[in-house]
Structure formats: C-alpha cells, structure tokens
Copies of this chain bind each other. A is one copy, B any other.
Amino acid sequence: MFKMRYADPGTAPATLTPFAPGEASEPVLTLIEYNAEYLNERTVATVAELPEPDESCVRWIDMSGLGSVEVLKALGEKYDLHPLALEDVLHTGQRPKTEPYDQHLFIVGQMLYNDEEGILCTEQISFFLRPNLLITIQEEARNDVFTPVRERLRGGKRFIRKQGADYLAYALLDAMIDHCFPALEELGEAVEELENVLLSNPSPDCVRTLHEFRRTLMVFRRFVWPERDVISALMHDESGLIAAQTKVYLRDCYDHTIQIMDLIESYRDITSGLLEMYLSCVSMRTNEIMRVLTVVSSIFIPLTFVAGLYGMNFDFEGGKMPWNMPELHKPWGYMACLGVMLAISIVQVLFFRRKKWL
C-alpha cells in the first residue's frame, strides 16, 4: 500500500539515497544510436563509454536497475541532469509527473502490468528528454515493455526511424500506457465472473475478492489519472522539445488514458453495485431462513405445549375428582385433543399463507 521510497525529513534536497544491498538490481546500460539510414545498438559497461552529448543522430540510453547510485550520478553529470530529478528516479513509487528543467524535460511514468500470478505490479520508469537524446531509467530489467519499440526501431525504413527523440519518448510512453489494456481486460473478465457467482451463489469469499478488485482499481486510478496529466502537459509543451507532428500522436495516447480512466470508473461503479447486491442477497437469505424457523416453531411449539398439558400427572384418584384433568377419562378426550392441535395448525398455516410466508 505504502510502497513509496522517501528521504528522511530534513534531508537536503537532491540527496541520492542508495538502495539497501539486494533491494535493487545492478544497472545495465544500453545505447541505441539511429537515424533514417543507420542504427547502432550496444550495451556499455560504464557511463564513460557513452558518447558525448551532441545532436548528430538520435540517441536512446536505457538504464535498467537502480542498484548503483554512482552510475546514476555519473549519468547525471555527463548529460547535465538536474539533481532533483535524479533524486525522484530513486524515490520509486512516485506519482507520474512531468517537470520541465532548463536542460531537459523530466517525465516519471508508472507501468502497470499483471505478473504471472495475475497480481498487479507497478514499475517506475523515468524519462529525460533532450534534443535528439532520450535517457530512460527502469526499476528492473525484468519486464521489458520497451522490446516492441526496439523491434520497430530495428525494423528499418520505419516511420519511427525518421523521427526525433520526442517521437521515441512518445512511442515508449504509448507502449507503457497501452500495457494497462490487457491488465484491465483480465480484471473486467474477473469482475464479470464474480458477478455471475454473486447472482448464483454468494459466499463470504466474494466480499474478499471484491475488496481486492477495489484495491486494484485504486492503484490503477492513482497512477493512470496523473499519467493523463503528463500526456496533456506534453501535448501543450512549449519548450520546443516536442515537435508539432508528435503532438498529434500524443493526442492519440491521451485518448487512451481517457479510455482507461473511463473503464476504471465503470468498474468502480460495478464493484460498488456488486457489494450492494451481495448485502441485499445476504439479508434476503437471512429473511428466508428466519421465515422457515418462524413457521416451523410457531406451528409446533403450541402443539408441544398442548401435548405437554396432557402429559401432566394431575390425575388424582383416577380422574374421579372433577377438577383434575377430567378430559383424560372421557372417551372422546384423545380425539378432542388431536382436533384442537389440528385446528391450531390450520389457523397458523392460514395466517402464514396470508402473510405470504408459506
């Protein structure tokens, strides 16, 4: 729930707090240089091996793994990244945001995907955009959402190869956001399944599942809502880093965030409705159970009383004392008693019929 890293209160801003050993994986640096004709892709061992920042071709530097503060610092110094932005890279679990700095645009995104067990995971991805240079920093190398974009780059003569770093940033953001669709589709199916279960056979487990759905939706909402603002800010960027043509594509991406928000709100409405339905089912069931209990008890408890009455031992002198259960020794006594019982039952059954409880 509270999975945000933060610095101790009072720490100087822009302090880079390293992860505890084993908490984060070692960074892997990958460089892709390309233009319309040319593509060069390689993994580098140290930041020093990376090319100086010039604008001869589009460069994409990807760093996966936050395990080394030194690599991050070196990267920051080489490409003039603002220390406050670097601090945010390490504070994982951030709210998505975009911040214009003098030298670059800084974007924080959160990728949402279901892991193999169907549990929603989040991974923070930071973008630094400079003219013809894009630096992306991922939490880990595990779930690489960027592979399809890399494939498109490698594919030659593609539209993406003719565009600048801003289009690359768009393509990556788009891939990141579109990753929500399959996760939401799975969730939608699970909700629909739960709906069927609730209508046929509600059990307390349903409430637990509902509660989990709502928490999942909350995570979606918490991260997709600001992502919408990020895309909107990029669409209205005035720094000149985002080309007008790219903004048309960003509009498409913005549209996707709105559709995701729409789905999330719909699911929230449905889960609320399901809880109400569950509660009304339970109270209807209690009502039905009580009805059976009441009908059975109300009929048989008076009958048992009558039977008990004639099971009493008041039979002083074999019924010859006129006040001591004289009925017992009349020939019609037993039949009369059964008759009374029958009458009581019939009256009650009629009463319950009129009340529609039977």
Contacts and interface: CB of A to CB of B under 8 A. Distances in A.
A6 B178 contact: yes
A53 interface: no
A342 to B, nearest CB: 12
Interface in A280-310: 280-294, 296-298, 300-305, 307-310
Contacts of A283: 279, 282-283, 286
Interface residues of A, number: 121
A41 B188 CA distance: 44
Contacts of A118: none
Interface in A303-340: 303-305, 307-316, 321, 323-325, 328-335, 337
Interface stretch (A22-30, A64-72, A234-242, A248-256): A248-256
Contacts of A160: 12
Contacts of A248: 84, 101
A259 to B, nearest CB: 5
A352 B116 CA distance: 40
A304 B313 contact: no
Nearest to A198: B211
Interface stretch (A31-39, A43-51, A130-138, A214-222): A214-222
B329 A1 contact: no
